[in-house]
């Protein structure tokens, strides 16, 4: 297991930097496609918290058992929504299906002042057989 990163983040770029550092430090080295998926999911979760969740209330990331676990807390009890059923080319709702596709598990836990979303992203490692 690689240490949890619990440094406060205010922007998606901050969260991506933390996850990039975590992935880069891991041995064996995480393969490039897994890293891209992990950074994309991280960015989308934090952006959603900022745009739709009243801001980021907490962030952590860790690697355990071949999975990246990313947790983002926000200040809204509303669950993420998708663009399904909305007006064609409407704004928003496209990131959540992507998060669901790139992760192996999504858990949403209500809190007294919002929610916590934890996702796991499967990782592949350089030199590992597919």
More confident residue, 87 or 41: 41
What domain range is 93 assigned to? Answer: 12-122
Omega of the bond leading into 2 within 30 degrees of 0 (cis): no
At 95 the pLDDT is 86
Is position 4 within any domain? no
Alpha helices (H) along the chain? 12-25, 32-52, 95-102
Domain count, the chain: 1
Q: Determine contact, residues 18/61, Cβ cutoff 8 Å.
A: yes
> Residue 127 falls within a domain, yes or no?
no
pTM, two decimals, is 0.87
Mean pLDDT of 85-102: 76
**Model pLDDT, residue 59:** 96
Residue 1 lies in a domain: no
As given in the structure block, the two tokens for residue 129 are 């057989």
CB 32 within 8 A of CB 128: no
pLDDT of residue 84: 63
- Closest-CA residue to 45 (of 1, 108, 112): 108
Tokens of 127: 């030199």
Residue 96 sits in a domain whose CATH number is 3.30.565.10
Nearest to 48 by CA among 108, 3, 111: 108
Query: Tell me: the pLDDT tens digits for 3-37?
Result: 444 557 889 999 999 999 999 999 999 999 999 99
């Amino acid at each position: 297991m690689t240490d949890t990163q619990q440094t406060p983040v205010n922007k998606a770029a901050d969260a991506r930097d933390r996850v990039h550092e975590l992935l880069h430090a891991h041995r064996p080295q995480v393969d490039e496609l897994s890293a891209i998926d992990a950074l994309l999911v991280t960015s989308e979760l934090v952006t959603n918290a900022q745009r739709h969740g009243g801001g980021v209330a907490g962030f952590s990331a860790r690697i355990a058992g071949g999975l990246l676990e990313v947790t983002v807390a926000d200040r809204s009890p509303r669950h993420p929504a998708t663009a399904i059923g909305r007006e064609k080319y409407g704004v928003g709702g496209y990131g959540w299906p992507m998060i669901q596709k790139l992760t192996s598990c999504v858990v949403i836990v209500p809190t007294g002042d919002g929610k916590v979303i934890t996702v796991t992203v499967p990782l592949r490692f350089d030199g590992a057989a597919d």
